[in-house]
Structure 1
């Protein structure tokens, strides 16, 4: 019982911190209470304790904001944890669960580069990708995810290139990117390598921006028989990395 009460207290404190956003960096007590779905009196006790501990600041207009302590803590996180270190345990777990090759990618010029890759020896027939490998941004589900979440001005020349390479209109390419954003993942079959399919999902940071994605690669004959199940696992793993990278749970 005591352990459960402690966990509930911790969850409430974290909920207060999470109630602040880039759009609303300061909130009234009532607004915090509404966002964390607790009575105003309960919220007041939590907020008062955090104010006294130096984690919240009460402003002159009766609003509260996060204190500069978070700037220091964020600096510590940034200096000690990179995306590879955060993602690695989750990539390993996903590879063990699915028995397929899992990789982490980011944009590098006109390519996407593999930052890390994990595979198992469960089957001699598997997708092969290595850390450091560069893949043209025009190919595969990972490229679609990374391009779909790019700022429009950055994506514009790539949209033109994809349309030309695939003999489609720009409108078709943009519609595909919109679908990727709506469903939160992309699936491709044989786009980069014949007989190999992939499922990719975005990793979001604290600003809800996407600079990384994870991909599962597998022989098409094997992936198609369990595509639904694998999509769920890839999306879940990406969401887990996003949370640890400062993103929010959708």
Structure 2
């Protein structure tokens, strides 16, 4: 019975930590410990667990924490209208209606990307994008956008990962990322799926940081390489509109 009480108490404390972020975006260990009135050693253990499970992210430069990707994944199953996946949905629908293809929104989580929102094409032959899907950062237009604007330590982790595919040359990949930053968009043509093509652009919040990748995808018989480049400008315009809605 005593062990059960301790377990429940640990859950309560972990939830108290998460609730600290209802009013602040970034918090340090000392701030969190003060807010929930716990010793820093106890809070540190809980923070480590929450970080390992993806509920919190830690910025190595500032040693501060913020909500992690798991919160986004959980929120996709709630009828909420105040989180980015829902907030940006109308703009994504307008983009889909304008160009006629599937539109997706991705976040980076370590060396993976997670699709947090998608608007399906209404055409008979279309690419179906599943919300919550996790995909590698080594291939794909959205992957390369998120990698291009990732912090140096995150990019190093990606390139040094044992899961890096042998078929993708690391040097050429780095050159592609530099080109993406220069031109402001990325394209992929049957990189991850046969018969599929995509173009993606960064979504930059008002803070000046890239917070997501916005992509448009569909079959290669409708999305030629030239068409992808033409659509990049339209996506960039939409991404600028979305960025103004985000912190």
For this structure pair, what is the TM-score category when the shorter chain's length is used for normalisation? 0.5 to 0.7
Q: Give the drift of 1:127.
A: 1.0
Question: Which residue pairs with 2:89 in the alignment?
Answer: 88
Whether contact under 8 Å (2:138, 2:165) holds in the other structure is: no
The alignment's TM-score, normalised by the length of structure 2, stands at 0.62
Question: Which residue pairs with 2:115 in the alignment?
Answer: 114
Question: Which residue pairs with 2:155 in the alignment?
Answer: 155
Whether contact under 8 Å (1:159, 1:173) holds in the other structure is: no
Whether contact under 8 Å (1:105, 1:113) holds in the other structure is: yes
SS in 1 for 2:166: helix
Distance in 1 separating the partners of 2:204 and 2:211 = 7
User: CA, structure 1 residues 166+240, in 2 after alignment: closer, same or farther (shift >3 Å)?
Assistant: farther
Question: Which residue pairs with 1:174 in the alignment?
Answer: 174
Distance in 1 separating the partners of 2:166 and 2:221 = 26
The alignment's TM-score, normalised by the length of structure 1, stands at 0.61
Question: Which residue pairs with 1:183 in the alignment?
Answer: 183
User: Whose helix proportion is higher, 1 or 2?
Assistant: 1
Q: Give the drift of 1:167.
A: 4.2
Question: Which residue pairs with 2:211 in the alignment?
Answer: 211
Distance in 2 separating the partners of 1:163 and 1:180 = 20
Distance in 2 separating the partners of 1:81 and 1:184 = 28
Distance in 1 separating the partners of 2:121 and 2:246 = 25
Distance in 1 separating the partners of 2:192 and 2:168 = 16
Runs of 5+ unmatched residues, structure 2: 1-80
How many residue pairs get aligned? The number is 166
- Once the two structures are superposed, the pairs formed by residues 1-250 of structure 1 within 5 Å of their partners are 81-121=82-122, 123-161=123-161, 165-168=166-169, 170-224=170-224, 226-246=227-247
Whether contact under 8 Å (2:202, 2:212) holds in the other structure is: yes
User: CA, structure 1 residues 135+167, in 2 after alignment: closer, same or farther (shift >3 Å)?
Assistant: closer
Give the structure with higher Rg (CA).
1
Q: Give the drift of 1:231.
A: 1.5
Runs of 5+ unmatched residues, structure 1: 1-79
CA-based RMSD of the aligned residues comes to 2.1
